Amino acid sequence: MNNAPTVFAQIMAGLDPTEVARAAAQFPMPRASKTLQPYDHLAAMVFAQLTYRESLRGIETCLCTRPALSYHMGIRGRVTRTNLAYANEHRDWRVFAAIASTLMRRAQRLYADTTPELGLEADLFALDATVIELSMALFPWARWKKTLASVKLNVLLDLRGDIPVFASLYEGKRHEVASLDELPVQPGSYYVMDRGYLDFSRLYRLHQAGAFFVTRLKTNTAYYVAESRPIDQATGLRCDQTIKLNSLVGQRDYPEKLRRISFVDPETGNTLVFVTNQFDLPALLIAQIYRRRWAIELFFRWIKQHLRLRGFFSTSSNGVRVQIWSAISAYLLVAIAKRRLDLRQSLWEILQIVSIASMEQIALPELLATIDTSKVHVVIPKQLEINYS
């Protein structure tokens, strides 16, 4: 009898069941489900993400057909579509948000020894938001405009390993700049964001906390140039200036000096104007820092393409949030397994293999091992000849 852990259990090993129980105790259900514990609920939702299940019935069919393997996967409860529907409706989504936060901290520690971005001695983070569109007929609580419904996912991405270190989820009508009020700030770190986050009062709080920011300057910003520094136009730079805001609101929100850098993108020919509170780094490096912001766009594209964020198992606000936080947890669990087991494959390759082998009882490094047989020479000994004389 093979008692080896399943592939899915090895992915879930990045999270201890006691951590799930601790998060669930903070936000108890009004009427707890006796047959579907919080860990079983999370495991079933992560299983749906990793194996591309499209309905609660599909989750039930896969997990209940092989109860012995489900047990080896760490699922002890009775996973039925009725139990899952009730849990998605009534178990507080903040339980899953707390679990995702725990995984974020664990993944960040595992990737802490990764080579810093662009040779910087401090951490580099990218902040952005993505809109997850919903049907107005099915999700009227998420109304954004007259005929549109959506939720907005804000993510702070550690660019060393493309690991989310902070996330928040709100209805689409909430402006993404409000997420700056919730942002965990590390002194000395760099925060790169697009110009949708250009709010000088909030950026000044980042500055006072000892952090550096790089963002785009809006064309209608009123300022005057206090100093200009020489630049090499052959590199694409057009100006490197010290500026101060000269409007009454600007002087109130950000009373100190800022650095304005104009750069022409050689690939597109577009002129980009950056603003930052970092005066020590070369101007060209500031432009390269902003270019790394594209990594968070790729992150959003990745999770939307490879995780279950287009079709939802529930139409309630709580159920949608449970599923989105489960998707983030699934991404983090795969990233933790990749680092913990020292897997060389990309997250996409690991996810593809796990999706078809989640119930197999085989070590994940062995499953992902590639054996090069192109240069292996098999020596076949000469068959002994039979002498009939």
Quick: pLDDT tens for 166-223. 999 998 888 889 999 999 899 999 999 999 899 999 999 999 999 999 999 998 999 9
Higher pLDDT, 284 or 115: 284
Closest CA to 286 of 378, 190, 177: 190
- Residues whose CB is less than 8 angstroms from the CB of residue 108 and which lie 6 or more positions away in sequence, other chains included: 158, 163, 165
Average pLDDT, the chain: 89
Quick one: what percent of the chain has pLDDT higher than 70? Answer: 94
Q: Is the pLDDT of residue 378 over 70?
A: no
Can you give the pLDDT at residue 335? 93
Comparison of pLDDT for 383 and 324, the residue scoring more: 324
Tell me if 149 sits within 8 A of 140, measured CB to CB.
yes
Contacts of 208 (CB under 8 A, 6+ apart): none
Name the one residue in this structure whose structure tokens are 């060209």: 284
Among 34-38, 256-260, 349-353, 368-372, the minimum mean pLDDT is found in 368-372
Contact between 297 and 128 (Cβ < 8 Å): yes
Q: How confident is the model at residue 88 (pLDDT cuts 50, 70, 90)?
A: very high
Whole-number pLDDT of residue 65 = 83
Average pLDDT estimate for 53-65: 89
Q: Which percentage of the chain shows pLDDT scores above 90?
A: 60
* 49 has a pLDDT exceeding 90: yes
Strand order in the sheet with 212-216: 163-171, 149-158, 124-134, 190-193, 212-216, 271-276, 258-264, 237-245, 223-229
Which own/partner contact pairs does 236-239 have at CB distance under 8 Å and 24+ positions apart? 236/263, 236/264, 236/265, 236/266, 236/284, 236/287, 237/261, 237/262, 237/263, 237/264, 237/283, 237/284, 237/287, 238/262, 238/263, 238/264, 238/271
Q: What is the pLDDT of residue 89?
A: 93
CB-based contacts of 58, cutoff 8 Å, min separation 6 = 48
124-170 confidence digits (pLDDT tens):
999 999 999 999 999 999 888 878 899 999 999 999 888 999 999 99
pLDDT by residue (tens digit) across 251-291? 999 999 999 999 998 888 889 999 999 999 999 999 999 99
Give the length of the chain: 389
Residue with tokens 């577009």: 270
pLDDT, residue 260, reads 95
Question: Residue 343 corresponds to which tokens in the numbers above?
Answer: 């897997």
Cα separation, 104 vs 108, in Å, equals 6
Contact 109, 117 (CB under 8 A): no
Q: Give the residue with greater pLDDT, 115 vs 383.
A: 115
Model pTM above 0.85: yes
Distance CA 199, CA 159 (A): 23
The residue ranking higher by pLDDT, 112 or 287, is 287
Q: What is the pLDDT of residue 347?
A: 85
Residue 161 to residue 348: CA distance in whole angstroms: 14
The pLDDT of 295-302, averaged and rounded, is 92
pLDDT of residue 33: 74
Residue with tokens 């079709």: 311
